Amino acid sequence: MTTSTAPITRPVTAFMPDAATPEQRLAVGILLAESYSYAYPEDPPLLSEKEAVGLTHLSPDEKAEHFVIWDKDRALGWGVLSYDMKQNLHAAHARLVVHPETRRQGHGRALTYALEDAARRAGRTLITFGTTSRAPAGEAYARTLNAEPALPMRQSQLDLTALDPALIDRWLVRPGGEPYCLHTWTVIPDDFLERAADMMMVMNTAPRGDLEVDDWTITPEMIRAWDAMIAEAGETRFMMAVEDTRTAQLDGYTEVFWTPERASLVYQGATAVRPSARGLGLGKWLKAAMLRHVQQHCPGARWVRTNNANVNEAMLGINVALGFEPWASFTEWQLKLA
């Protein structure tokens, strides 16, 4: 790891969102919102209040350690290290944000040291984090850490006004008498919860590049915790799932996230089909049905944005056929600690 000669003029302070005052949480929320607007000026702005609420969100069995650099009541930099207490016990995930007006003052380096120290104290030997080409300073900084670009991804964006309705209609046609049916939920019903958790773990089959992480187990408790966080953030998640009526097994799903206050932008989350059910057009069916649903139930939506691993040719092919165009590159890095 290289050292910086930039002066560090302010200390890094441990920050506990649950114990902090509303004003302190909001100060960090403002930092996140202003930094986002700097990197993505064409996007609808993040809401500082919602970002502040998100600081307290944790999944079951997850722990997070936050650090802030303060200038009186203003947050100049923030970092968080999150890790699971039961799974992937060697790994942790980091986020680090420095306000654009106060960069090149050693704040990023100071926060990095705090995050690395927290990882070592937690017994973690691997830190993952992401960077986007829309904020090229992040990638440049990652290289100074000798981090490995383990999973390069393409960020793509679809203009809904250019979506071909005839293509959607074709992909929505299914063979007569087939055993599959389609469900649409904002909250997964209780009687599908166990099956949904099992289905969502199909994402473990998605390409991981060189990331040295193990499969993740998803539980009904996690899903319900995510539901509560989504609701508190004022966000709507639409999920579609394909059920094989012969076995009642869920064989595929797709999900999107939409916020009325940022109505023009829809985020495409995971899309996955069980290996045993691939080659039947279920992925195209799910994607087409969801895009039609977005057009009908997300007023003001104009853009759909998604990430795909560069090595995930099947999903990239579906997205390209739908009209998704390259928007940026995103890289998941891993940093191995001595």
Nearest to 288 by CA among 161, 155, 156, 163: 163
Using pLDDT thresholds of 50, 70 and 90, give the confidence band for residue 179. very high
**Confidence bin at 7 (pLDDT 50/70/90):** low
Average pLDDT of 101-130? 97
What pLDDT does 3 receive? 38
pLDDT tens-digit readout, 198-234: 999 999 999 999 999 999 999 999 999 999 999 999 9
Average pLDDT over residues 30-35: 98
- Cα dihedral 172, 173, 177, 181, rounded to 10, equals 0
Question: Per residue in 156-166, pLDDT tens?
Answer: 999 999 999 99
Average pLDDT over residues 121-140: 96
Lowest mean pLDDT among 98-107, 117-126, 304-313: 304-313
Average pLDDT over residues 295-323: 93
pLDDT for res 300: 98
Locate 72 and state its tokens: 């009186």
pLDDT, average across residues 264-277? 97
In this predicted structure, the answer to whether residue 337 has a pLDDT above a threshold of 80 is yes
Residue 330 · residue 130 · CB < 8 Å? yes
| The pLDDT value given to residue 313 | 85
Instruction: Specify whether the CB–CB gap between 283 and 240 falls below 8 A.
Output: no
- Please give the pLDDT value at position 4: 40
Do residues 117 and 108 lie in contact, with contact meaning Cβ atoms separated by under 8 Å?
no
Whether residue 331 is predicted with pLDDT greater than 50 in this model: the reply is yes
Which tens digits make up the pLDDT trace of 46-83? 999 999 999 999 999 999 999 999 999 999 999 999 99
Q: What is the pLDDT of residue 9?
A: 67
Q: Where are the alpha helices (DSSP H) in 251-305?
A: 282-297
Work out the mean pLDDT of the chain and round it to a whole number: 95
Q: What is the predicted pLDDT for the residue at 158?
A: 98
pLDDT at position 1 over 80: no
Q: Is the pLDDT of residue 6 over 80?
A: no
Which pLDDT score is estimated for 2? Answer: 39
- Euclidean distance between CA atoms 122 and 116, whole angstroms: 10
The angle at the Cα of 52, spanning 49 to 55, to the nearest 5 degrees, equals 155
Give the model's pLDDT for residue 338.
84
Residue tagged 């040719």 (tokens): 313
Tokens of 35: 């930094």
C-alpha 226, offset from chain centre: 13
